[in-house]
């Protein structure tokens, strides 16, 4: 059997902060990123691709607000907005991937599957919403929305930009349609799913699927997916070529080959930046702990050169 890889595309792989976010820009970055995945395709890997949706869902939330203000159009809740981005971004990746494969003369099918992810309604995260989403509001607007919709707000990190809604970021427990995704990927289809960390839902006491206003960390959801489908390798693509110890400090050190125990130690020592690299490391470690062979964290543009990237295994050398 061929090796199976799950590749989580970071925001940078699709869209850059210093750009306007036009579809043309997104298509160019997506094509570059997918071109870099060809080394996996050429090596015969089965492949599942996940992706972020931060800027896209942020834009949809702001358009929701603007549509209500200007035209009185009822806004959609967060779960629908995330699902929207899975459709739009998934389709864009699928179409471009088909063209990259065509350019290389490779016949592989690409399928985009809408991805729900189960969370635990008792997750501690629901008591302490931390994930900032959507637009900045004035204090008055935030108070009104809080009364009207029960939303919770926090002052933006910089303070001066205003208030932002915060939602819980619960731990992903299970991926819907997991067996179908695995089986299709194992038949050689390239699967795109779980965009934006998946649409968070939970089962109530009647086993009905219920929605919840929350967002799931994309890398954590991808890690659960990767373990669920018994992937061999789990790639987290981000905007740095390697993991660094003490990034930005005089003691900065490139970490290329890591084993599980050392990485846990570094993580516990606070070596990795909270809110950026640390959650990726947690996702990578979780994949290894649950039986995965290798987690790779690197920059999409460097993927083609196999020597690049930080590789975490249970015991390095495996």
**Residues engaged in binding a second copy (CB under 8 A):** 20-23, 59-60, 62-67, 69-71, 73-74, 76-77, 79-81, 83-88, 90-92, 94-95, 98-99, 102-103, 109, 111-114, 116, 135, 177, 180, 184, 189, 199, 201, 206-209, 211
Residue closest to 234 by CA, chosen among 286, 277, 271: 286
Active site residue 280: yes
CB of 248 to a second copy, least distance (A): 32
Q: Which residues of 157-169 are buried (b: 16+ CB within 10 A; e: fewer)?
A: eeeeebbbbbbbb
- Measured CA to CA, the distance from residue 267 to residue 14 in angstroms comes to 28
Active site residue 11: yes
Active site residue 294: no
- DSSP string across 58-80: HHHHHHHHHHHHHH-PPPPPHHH
CB of 43 or CB of 66, closer to a second copy: 66
- Measured CA to CA, the distance from residue 185 to residue 52 in angstroms comes to 20
Catalytic residue among 131, 182, 294, 311: 131
Inter-axis angle of helices 218-228 and 277-289, to 10 degrees? 10
CB of 1 to a second copy, least distance (A): 20
Catalytic residue among 10, 11, 195, 309: 11
Catalytic residue among 134, 196, 280, 294: 280
Active site residue 270: no
Catalytic residue among 10, 12, 90, 294: 12
Active site residue 182: no
CB of 55 or CB of 245, closer to a second copy: 55
CB of 86 or CB of 227, closer to a second copy: 86
Neighbours of 31 (CB within 10 A): 16
- Measured CA to CA, the distance from residue 206 to residue 75 in angstroms comes to 29
Catalytic residue among 182, 218, 294, 311: 218
Q: In whole angstroms, what separates CA 95 from the centre of its chain? A: 20
Residue with tokens 């991805």: 115
- DSSP string across 24-47: HHHHHHHHHHHHHTHHHHHTT-EE
CB of 102 to a second copy, least distance (A): 5
CB of 60 or CB of 285, closer to a second copy: 60
CB of 115 to a second copy, least distance (A): 9
CB of 141 to a second copy, least distance (A): 13
CB of 13 or CB of 199, closer to a second copy: 199
Q: Which residues are catalytic?
A: 11-12, 131, 218, 280
């Amino acid at each position: 059997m061929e090796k199976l890889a799950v590749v989580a595309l970071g925001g940078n792989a699709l869209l850059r902060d210093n750009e306007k976010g036009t579809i043309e820009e997104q298509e160019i970055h997506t094509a570059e990123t997918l071109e870099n995945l060809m080394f996996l395709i050429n090596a015969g890997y089965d492949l599942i691709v996940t992706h972020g949706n931060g800027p896209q869902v942020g834009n949809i939330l702001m358009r929701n607000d603007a549509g209500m203000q200007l035209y009185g159009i009822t806004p959609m809740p967060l779960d629908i907005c995330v699902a929207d981005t899975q459709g739009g971004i998934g389709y864009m990746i699928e179409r471009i991937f088909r063209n990259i494969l065509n350019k290389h003369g490779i016949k592989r099918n690409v399928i985009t599957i809408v991805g729900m992810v189960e969370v635990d309604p008792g997750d501690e995260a629901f008591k302490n919403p931390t994930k900032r989403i959507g637009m900045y509001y004035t204090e008055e607007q935030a108070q009104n929305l809080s009364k009207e919709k029960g939303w919770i707000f926090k002052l933006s990190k910089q303070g001066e930009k205003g208030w932002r809604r915060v939602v819980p970021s619960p731990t992903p427990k299970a991926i819907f349609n997991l067996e179908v995704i695995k089986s299709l990927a194992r038949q050689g289809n390239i699967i795109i799913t779980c965009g934006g960390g998946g649409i968070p839902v939970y089962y109530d006491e009647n086993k009905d699927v219920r929605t919840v206003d929350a967002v799931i960390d994309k890398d954590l959801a991808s890690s659960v997916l990767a373990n669920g489908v018994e992937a061999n390798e789990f790639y987290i693509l981000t905007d740095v070529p390697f993991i660094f110890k003490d990034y930005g400090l005089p003691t900065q050190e490139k970490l290329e080959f890591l084993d599980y125990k050392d990485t846990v130690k570094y993580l516990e020592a606070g070596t990795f930046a909270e809110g950026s690299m640390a959650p990726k490391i947690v996702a990578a470690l979780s994949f290894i702990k649950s039986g995965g062979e290798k987690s790779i964290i690197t920059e999409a543009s460097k993927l083609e050169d196999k020597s690049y990237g930080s590789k975490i295994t249970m015991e390095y050398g495996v």
